[in-house]
């Protein structure tokens, strides 16, 4: 999973914990050996039990690279998940955690890339896409950009308020939600799993071939990638990050 095992572990201090929704929290970690990450990269967290047993998982950086000295990780609490449950139920402000990063060379966006962007996230797969959106906003990049965020219900949204503001203020930016299970009354947007028709509709207005960043559960990323290839997007323009085994 890691493409840079030579990166050293360091101790991070939990500076803040923000509740995003009933199952998701954002952890702000202060790092003594901070280096600026690229939007899309991730960190590993390693937990060690008193008997020496270790568990290690990867988490995308949610914050943008200009946040000097710290990173934010947004973590969904999975039922019986070893590391995510520990983060949600045990970790408190002031605690120290072993982390290493930033990791990842492929699923990254840098402002020197001027192509339009199509960001497609399922569930917590929105996290690295948020880092891209935040970085794009922070540097004033004007890439024509759409985010398609597939989520079970409004209650499961992460970053709801910030996305709403971004939609209002962001130039050349459109945020599209699709609800897959519970649809709010009066909802006029998409209300089904991401399919070819949704992607075709969104791609229709692009001035040129976009760079597509897909992130979420394995099955979600797989299906969206197949649709995009079938629509005719070159495979070189499709970047994927797979979070785990289940569907959203």
The verdict on 3 binding ligand FAD (CB under 6 A) reads no
Q: Tell me the per-residue interface mask from 95 to 134 with ligand FAD, x by CB under 6 A, - otherwise.
A: -----------------------------x--x-------
218, burial (CB in 10 Å: exposed 0-12, middle 13-18, buried 19+): middle
CA–CA dist 213, 68 (Å, integer):
25
- Which range, of 6-14, 68-76, 146-154, 186-194, touches ligand FAD by CB under 6 A? 68-76
Q: How many residues bind ligand FAD (CB under 6 A)?
A: 24
The kind and range of the H/E element at 86 are helix 82-89
Query: How far separated are the first and last CA of the chain, in Å rounded?
Result: 21
The verdict on 63 binding ligand FAD (CB under 6 A) reads no
The verdict on 89 binding ligand FAD (CB under 6 A) reads no
Does the CA dihedral 192-197-198-201 come out positive or negative? negative
Bridge partners (DSSP) listed for residue 12? 31, 97
CA dist list (Å): 36 to 42, 96, 213, 223: 12, 20, 21, 32
Q: Provide, rounded to whole angstroms, the least separation between the CB of residue 125 and ligand FAD.
A: 8
The verdict on 240 binding ligand FAD (CB under 6 A) reads no
Q: Which positions ≥6 away from 188 have C-beta within 8 Å?
A: none
Q: Provide, rounded to whole angstroms, the least separation between the CB of residue 116 and ligand FAD.
A: 24
**119 or 202: whose CB is closer to ligand FAD?**
119
**43 or 179: whose CB is closer to ligand FAD?**
43
CA–CA dist 199, 11 (Å, integer):
42
Q: Provide, rounded to whole angstroms, the least separation between the CB of residue 244 and ligand FAD.
A: 2
Q: Tell me the per-residue interface mask from 22 to 51 with ligand FAD, x by CB under 6 A, - otherwise.
A: --------------------x---------
**53 or 208: whose CB is closer to ligand FAD?**
53
Which pair of structure tokens corresponds to residue 190? 């998409």
CA–CA dist 170, 130 (Å, integer):
13
| Alpha helices, DSSP H, located in 90-247 | 126-138, 160-169, 196-203, 218-231
Q: Provide, rounded to whole angstroms, the least separation between the CB of residue 35 and ligand FAD.
A: 18
Judged by CB under 6 A, which of 80, 161, 185, 208 binds ligand FAD? 80
The DSSP secondary-structure symbol of 129 reads H
Point out which residues bind ligand FAD (CB under 6 A): 1, 42, 57-60, 74-76, 78, 80-85, 124, 127, 217, 241, 243-246
């Amino acid at each position: 999973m890691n493409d840079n095992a030579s990166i050293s572990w360091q101790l991070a201090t939990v500076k803040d914990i923000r509740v995003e929704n009933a199952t998701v929290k954002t952890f702000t970690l202060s790092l003594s050996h901070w280096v600026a990450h690229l939007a899309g990269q991730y960190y590993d967290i390693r937990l060690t039990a008193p008997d020496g047993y270790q568990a290690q998982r990867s988490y995308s950086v949610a914050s943008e690279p200009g946040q000097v000295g710290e990173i934010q990780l947004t973590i969904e609490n999975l039922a019986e998940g070893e590391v995510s449950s520990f983060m949600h139920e045990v970790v408190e402000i002031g605690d120290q955690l072993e982390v290493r990063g930033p990791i990842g060379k492929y699923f990254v966006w840098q402002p020197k890339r001027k192509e339009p962007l199509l960001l497609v996230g399922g569930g917590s797969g929105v996290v690295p896409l948020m880092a891209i959106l935040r970085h794009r906003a922070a540097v004033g990049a004007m890439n024509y950009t759409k985010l398609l965020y597939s989520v079970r219900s409004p209650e499961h949204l992460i970053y709801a308020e910030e996305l709403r503001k971004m939609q209002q203020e962001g130039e050349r930016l459109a945020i599209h939600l699709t609800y897959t299970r519970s649809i709010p009354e009066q909802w006029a947007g998409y209300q089904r799993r991401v399919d070819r028709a949704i992607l075709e509709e969104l791609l229709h207005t692009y001035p040129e071939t976009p760079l597509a960043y897909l992130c979420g559960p394995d099955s979600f990323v797989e299906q969206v990638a197949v649709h995009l290839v079938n629509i005719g997007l070159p495979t070189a323009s499709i970047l994927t990050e797979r979070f785990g085994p289940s569907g959203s």
